[in-house]
Every structure is written in C-alpha cells, then in structure tokens.
C-alpha cells in the first residue's frame, strides 16, 4: 500500500481564513472524487489550526494506482480545486509519497 501526503500551509496572520472553505471542499468534492479512483483505499485529513497547517493523506492499494492517479490528471485536477484559496498559502501545496509499512 502507498500513501500520498499533500501539505497546505497558511501564511502567518491568515491561519483561520479559508480553512472552512477548504474543509467543505474536501468533504463535498475531493473525497467523493477520490473514492472513484482505481486502487483508492482511504483518505485522512489532518489539521493543526494553531499552526495553520493541513495534510491530506490518500491511501492507494498499489504504487501503480497512485502513479496512475497522477498520470491521468486526477491529482492535478484536485489541486486545481484549491486554487481559489492559493493567496492564503505560504507555498503552493506540495506532496510526498511513502510506502505504507504498517496499518492496523
């Protein structure tokens, strides 16, 4: 199993601005679309309101499923959903990919 972690960091002084919109977007559009992808196994959304940092973790059955979600344009389209909030971020959303070695 593989995990893609997408990180969002808010600018200082704007830590709460746009968070509700982002959470609504995750619930209404991003997670439902993720569930339709081949090999999708789960989604975790993490939020540190004090530090203004959020992480979206998607789990994929195989590395090829994760890669296919990027090659197909799915991941790029999901990031495009966040563009209206981009002025609030310190940097564009960034991602990291890991192999899942333990899951309970």
Reported CATH class of domain 2-99:
alpha beta
Q: How confident is the model at residue 96 (pLDDT cuts 50, 70, 90)?
A: very high
- Which pTM value belongs to this model? 0.85
Q: C-alpha distances in angstroms, 66 versus 30, 35, 40? A: 15, 13, 8
| 38-74 confidence digits (pLDDT tens) | 999 999 999 888 888 889 999 999 999 999 999 999 9
- Contact by Cβ (8 Å): 22, 7: no
67: left (phi > 0), else alpha (psi -120 to 50), else beta? alpha
pLDDT confidence of residue 67: 96
Is 104 a residue whose pLDDT tops 80? Answer: yes
- Report whether pLDDT(12) > 80: no
- Taking residue 91's Cβ as centre, other Cβ atoms within 10 Å add up to 10
Contact of 6 with 81, CB cutoff 8 Å: no
């Amino acid at each position: 199993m593989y995990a893609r972690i997408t990180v969002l960091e808010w600018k200082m002084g704007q830590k709460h601005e746009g968070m509700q919109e982002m959470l609504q977007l995750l619930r209404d559009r991003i997670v439902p679309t993720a569930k339709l992808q081949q090999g999708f196994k789960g989604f975790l959304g993490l939020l540190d309101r004090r530090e203004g940092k959020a992480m979206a973790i998607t789990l994929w059955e195989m590395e090829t499923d994760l890669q296919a979600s990027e090659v197909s344009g799915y991941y790029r389209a999901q990031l495009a959903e966040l563009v209206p909030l981009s002025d609030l971020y310190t940097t564009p959303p960034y991602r990291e990919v890991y192999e899942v070695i333990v899951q309970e």
